[in-house]
Chains A and B, each alone.
Chain A
Amino acid sequence: MDFPIFHLDIFGNRGLVATIAILHVLVNHSLAVGMMPLVACMEWYGHKRQDPRWDKLAYNILFVAFLITTTVGAMTGIGIWLSVSLVNPYSIGSLIRVFFWAWFTEWLVFVTEVCLILAYTLTWKKWSEGKAKERHIRLGFTLGFFSWVTMALIVAILGFMMDPGNWMSEPTLWSGITNPIYLPQLAFRTPLAAAMAGIVAMFLAQFFTRGDAAFRNEALRAIALWTLFFAPFVLIAGFWYYSVVPDVMKENFGVAIATLQFTDWQQKFLEIALVTVVVILVAVQVAIARPNLLPRVAMLAPLVAVIWMIGHFERVREFVRKPYVIGRYMYANGFRVDDYPLLQRDGILAYATYSNPLTDAERAGLPQGLDDDAREAKLARLQKGKDVFMITCSRCHTGHGVNSITGHLQRMFGDQPWTADLTTGYIEGMHQVRSFMPPFPGDKKELDLLGEYLEHLQNNLAPIPGAQTAGIIVQAAPALRAAGIDQSEAIAR
């Protein structure tokens, strides 16, 4: 509660982070972690056979990877930092405290990786003969290694967010890194990245080998074999990864893969996932056995399939850890589990440094027939209710947009008036019914204020603006407390 609240009421805060993060993972895995060793292998193979066609193909694929990783990849990498800092500064703050040196190391490795990809791409044509070529190939494999190390470091943090393991009793960097999910997830992502790179390379190879059908077939065969080699490791490590996911999180799979509205859609999703895997395997198989039968457009199918699969995998991974953003340590709303008793005793508003002012549009839709005093009193309660909503709900829910609170209430209670009694009765015990929801963190009075605000939302469809557009009001008492100044002392001054 020490930061103004950024909020996107149509797209949703989660949507912002998810879009940037999934795009980053797609670029990182397929065009950096997996692609750099594949390109280096192709360069080595061309050099070994003294076949310039392999060298040209490798360079062309590298150039595409270089362009995308240094633009979309780099921007989304920074974008993740910016978006998570805006959406949930408390969780990223906690993670930085635990993983400071790991992140610092990752930053050094990332800078090295950028330097290496620049060197690898720009020296390709200069270092093309004899010893220089061998040095260039080694440079390619070194780049591949550094790309993998960046992933290996970040995966430690992703695993920690799902299950911190022993860190809860022994809060050190090492115990955080050696969380139970780290190695299985790394073992899964490594061959996955290689296989993804193979699928992307097969797609690109069709464009870069036009006019040479024999080489096209040879290249498709070789890259398909690369993809196929990693496929069983994806499967085996996938089972290992799944086996270490805590059972409580597995209960969230149904909602994670399709949203609450489409829980019944789980079976349909699994069928689509099955088709996706089959499409990829058959495309790879045909590329090995009969590459000449694969039309250029056919490689679009496995490419789209793998993008769809990874997008959903990341979505599920992000969702199943609910109600926590950091397993057993911090709830998705940004409150630490250990702070709940204090907040439920004193209320969250007692510690809220900022208030989120109601806009004119949000003030509309009040009950008819209120005199001025009653209207002002109602607006004051709605202001507090909105603050409770913004602090406790808005990290995941919008008012009227994606994953909206009004959408959920409409589904549960229909068009009947959403009275405070009706909604608060549900919210009070929702964490027992919905395992992915955190308990309400405030006191009883704040729960009633929230209920009154939700009732207001039924009659007011105006978007709820975040601090970035509506501004903030600084609350005197919590702000002084946060600054370490006693309130009576401040008044005396």
Chain B
Amino acid sequence: MNALSTWLQARPYRLTVSNALLLALLLGVIGSAPLFEIIGVAAVAIAGLAFVGRAVGVAFRWRGRGQFYDLVLLWAPGVIAIILSLAAIGLISANSYGSVAYVIGVALFGVELGMLIIGGSDAANFPASLSEPV
């Protein structure tokens, strides 16, 4: 338990990602598509706003210095996560509870919401140039 606690504390986003995964699991088990749509879209909106806000801040700091490649690296993971998490919600809505597509949708939503949270955390810690590894 201590090891888990230490591991979670080592990176602040780990706890948030764990919560996101539990949320996806819970919504998936409940099996209500409208509930998943409302809470899922809200979760993506909150994590997305955090990501976008931080990414805009970094891009603003890079004015005139950041290369196009750096900008793509900054934005791509979060944007993909937003698109794929919304696609996952669409998949859940379009398929019946318990079907393979539904399970894939729930798993994808959890992973992508987690990636979006990680993207937001990374955006807050971006160096001046990302041509070198983080």
Please give the residue numbers on chain A whose beta carbons come within 8 Å of chain B beta carbons, in ascending order: 214, 217-218, 221-222, 225, 228, 268, 271, 274-275, 278, 281-282, 284-286, 288-291
Instruction: List 20 A–B pairs whose Cβ atoms lie within 8 Å, in order of A's numbering.
Output: A214-B133, A218-B131, A221-B73, A221-B133, A225-B72, A225-B76, A228-B76, A228-B80, A271-B100, A271-B101, A274-B91, A278-B84, A281-B80, A281-B84, A282-B84, A284-B80, A285-B80, A285-B115, A288-B80, A290-B118
Chain B neighbourhood of A275, CB < 8 A: 104
Residues 44-103 (chain B) with a chain A CB within 8 angstroms? 69, 72-73, 76-77, 80-81, 84, 91, 100-101
Whole-angstrom distance between the alpha carbons of A152 and B96 in the complex? 42
Decide if A274 touches B77 in the complex (CB within 8 Å): no
Decide if A288 touches B101 in the complex (CB within 8 Å): no
Chain A neighbourhood of B40, CB < 8 A: none
Chain B neighbourhood of A278, CB < 8 A: 84, 104, 108
Whole-angstrom distance between the alpha carbons of A72 and B77 in the complex? 36
Closest 3 CB pairs between A and B? A289-B77, A271-B100, A217-B133
* Cβ of B113 under 8 Å from chain A: no
Chain B neighbourhood of A221, CB < 8 A: 73, 133
Closest Cβ of chain B to A51, distance in Å, is 10
Residue on B nearest A272 in the bound complex, by CB: B100
Decide if B104 touches A289 in the complex (CB within 8 Å): no
Whole-angstrom distance between the alpha carbons of A70 and B100 in the complex? 42
Contacts A218-B133, A281-B80, A281-B84; is A288 near B73 (CB within 8 Å)?
Answer: yes
Closest Cβ of chain B to A206, distance in Å, is 15
Residues 105-133 (chain B) with a chain A CB within 8 angstroms? 108, 111, 115, 118-119, 122, 131-133
Decide if B118 touches A289 in the complex (CB within 8 Å): yes
Whole-angstrom distance between the alpha carbons of A275 and B101 in the complex? 9
Partner of A289, one of B72, B91, B119: B119
Chain B neighbourhood of A218, CB < 8 A: 131-133
Chain A neighbourhood of B91, CB < 8 A: 274
Decide if B119 touches A271 in the complex (CB within 8 Å): no
Whole-angstrom distance between the alpha carbons of A288 and B119 in the complex? 10
Chain A neighbourhood of B119, CB < 8 A: 289
Closest Cβ of chain A to B93, distance in Å, is 15
Whole-angstrom distance between the alpha carbons of A222 and B76 in the complex? 12
Whole-angstrom distance between the alpha carbons of A289 and B76 in the complex? 8
Interface centre among A268, A271, A289 (most CB of B within 10 A): A289
Residue on B nearest A271 in the bound complex, by CB: B100
Whole-angstrom distance between the alpha carbons of A284 and B79 in the complex? 13
Partner of A225, one of B73, B101, B104, B132: B73
Closest Cβ of chain A to B99, distance in Å, is 8
How many residue-residue contacts, CB under 8 A, span A and B?
49
Whole-angstrom distance between the alpha carbons of A286 and B114 in the complex? 11
Contacts A289-B122, A290-B118; is A282 near B73 (CB within 8 Å)?
Answer: no
Given contacts A278-B84, A284-B80, A291-B133, 14 further A-B contacts (CB under 8 A): A217-B133, A218-B133, A221-B133, A225-B69, A225-B76, A268-B100, A271-B101, A274-B101, A274-B104, A278-B108, A285-B115, A288-B73, A288-B76, A289-B122
Whole-angstrom distance between the alpha carbons of A290 and B77 in the complex? 9
Chain B neighbourhood of A291, CB < 8 A: 133
Decide if B104 touches A271 in the complex (CB within 8 Å): yes
Whole-angstrom distance between the alpha carbons of A286 and B69 in the complex? 17
Chain B neighbourhood of A225, CB < 8 A: 69, 72-73, 76
Whole-angstrom distance between the alpha carbons of A282 and B132 in the complex? 22
Interface centre among A228, A268, A282, A286 (most CB of B within 10 A): A282
Whole-angstrom distance between the alpha carbons of A217 and B118 in the complex? 17
Interface centre among B73, B77, B119 (most CB of A within 10 A): B77
Interface centre among B80, B81, B84 (most CB of A within 10 A): B80
Chain B neighbourhood of A290, CB < 8 A: 118
Chain A neighbourhood of B104, CB < 8 A: 271, 274-275, 278
Closest Cβ of chain B to A361, distance in Å, is 46
Residue on B nearest A291 in the bound complex, by CB: B133
Whole-angstrom distance between the alpha carbons of A122 and B74 in the complex? 38
Residue on B nearest A215 in the bound complex, by CB: B133
Contacts A214-B133, A225-B76, A228-B76; is A285 near B84 (CB within 8 Å)?
Answer: yes
Chain A neighbourhood of B111, CB < 8 A: 282
Whole-angstrom distance between the alpha carbons of A225 and B131 in the complex? 13
Closest Cβ of chain B to A238, distance in Å, is 15
Whole-angstrom distance between the alpha carbons of A271 and B103 in the complex? 11
Residue on A nearest B72 in the bound complex, by CB: A225
Chain A neighbourhood of B122, CB < 8 A: 289
Residue on B nearest A216 in the bound complex, by CB: B133
Whole-angstrom distance between the alpha carbons of A370 and B71 in the complex? 86
Closest Cβ of chain A to B30, distance in Å, is 22
Chain A neighbourhood of B69, CB < 8 A: 222, 225
Whole-angstrom distance between the alpha carbons of A33 and B96 in the complex? 41
Closest Cβ of chain A to B40, distance in Å, is 17
Whole-angstrom distance between the alpha carbons of A288 and B101 in the complex? 26
Whole-angstrom distance between the alpha carbons of A217 and B132 in the complex? 9
Chain B neighbourhood of A285, CB < 8 A: 77, 80-81, 84, 115
Residue on B nearest A225 in the bound complex, by CB: B72
Decide if B108 touches A288 in the complex (CB within 8 Å): no
Chain B neighbourhood of A288, CB < 8 A: 73, 76-77, 80
Closest Cβ of chain A to B7, distance in Å, is 15
Chain A neighbourhood of B76, CB < 8 A: 225, 228, 288
Residue on A nearest B91 in the bound complex, by CB: A274
Interface centre among B76, B101, B118 (most CB of A within 10 A): B76
Whole-angstrom distance between the alpha carbons of A225 and B77 in the complex? 10
Residue on A nearest B134 in the bound complex, by CB: A217
Whole-angstrom distance between the alpha carbons of A477 and B99 in the complex? 63
